[in-house]
Copies of this chain bind each other. A is one copy, B any other.
Amino acid sequence: MTKPPVIDHRRTLTLRDVSEASGVSEMTVSRVLRNRGDVSESTRERVLEAARALGYVPNKIAGALASQRVNLVGVVIPSLSNMVFPEVMTGISETLEDTGLQPVVGVTHYSPEREESVIYEMLSWRPSGMIVAGLEHTEAARAMLAQAGIPIVEVMDIDGVAVDSAVGISHYRAGRQMAEAILDAGYRRIAFLGTMMPHDHRARKRLQGFEEVLSRHGLSLADQEFYSGGSALLKGREMTAAVLDRSPDVDFLYYSNDMIGAGGLLHCLDRGIDVPGKVGLAGFNGVELLDGLPRKLATMDACRLEIGRRAAQIIAAKHPDGIIGGEVIELFPTLQPGDTIRPAL
């Protein structure tokens, strides 16, 4: 039969090893392993057999350098800990699966400096495209992305100027929409509870749109409370308790995300508060995770899966040749009134 596998732990195998083991040139081996070009069936089998027996794994570094092609797509996101970015990732992976492209994730922890360095690091691997969360970056990061000569898609948000393409929703508009729904339902003393992170631009834009609608109706926030870190569900409880103690007359609690909103909801139910009669609640994101709570929290779907898909499609489509003009795709979230906001008057 064939020779037993050569297990040499000192040196890693190269095309040459396979080529020697199968008696053809390195080029032919390369062709077989990539399914590129014509190779006779007998040679192909001999080569594959040798490669398998040796346990050969091609060196993509060398391949990429020689071919000037890298099947990687950089994905830069602020966090994996909340439920929102993993779902975007799912959309991306799903779509990229059929294209031979592979996502590589980098996490910034909402720090612009860290984002800049993650982007630099990724670009130095010469990926085929980059997907970056948000439109706000350091000047250097924007410059790098703009010069990279590859398709760039900024995701989640479209309120701002994109380097190249963008896919997302208008958080500003989402905030307005929610405010209008709340006012329509007759609530008037509205509090905001949210994250303190100074770099969560999307939460900021939602709040901005929200307050604008209030002020157009001659209103302003009755109270606000911020947090950072910790278990969001628990923080939601604590913040809600604080607000309700401090401002017993508020009739609506607007949360910057569903997790703290859920915490707030649980707190209200514990206290026996009439929801949505006496107090209404709303969050943001539409996290499926929370289906199963005693009551369904009003929220707005952020189109996360769809955003991931569309972003990946743009990268995959531009993949072959050069620079096509950047496109901006706006998606429209739908308001899910759930059980925590009473019907409009």
Contact A231 B292 (CB under 8 A): yes
Enumerate A110-151 residues with CB–CB distance to B below 8 Å.
120-121, 123-126, 143-144, 147-149
A233 to B266 CA separation, bound complex (whole angstroms): 14
Given contacts A9-B323, A292-B236, contact A107 B80 (CB under 8 A): no
Whether the Cβ atoms of A289 and B232 lie closer than 8 Å is yes
Q: Does A90 contact B (CB under 8 A)?
A: yes
Is A329 among interface residues, defined by CB-CB distance under 8 A?
Answer: no
Nearest chain B CB to A94 CB, angstrom units: 10
Within the assembled complex, what's the spacing in Å between the Cα atoms of A147 and B263?
A: 49
**Judging by beta carbons under 8 Å apart, are B57 and A120 in contact?**
yes
Q: Which residue of B lies closest to A235 (CB)?
A: B292
Does the CB pair B231–A126 fall under 8 Å? Answer: no
Q: How far is the CB of A268 from chain B (nearest CB, A)?
A: 12
Give Cα A232 to B58, complex, Å: 40
Q: Which residues of B contact A57 (CB under 8 A)?
A: 120, 123-124, 144, 148
A334 at the interface (CB under 8 A from B): no
Contacts of A149 in B (CB 8 A): 9-10, 12
User: B291–A144 contact, CB under 8 A?
Assistant: no
Residue A343 is within 8 A (CB to CB) of chain B in the complex: no
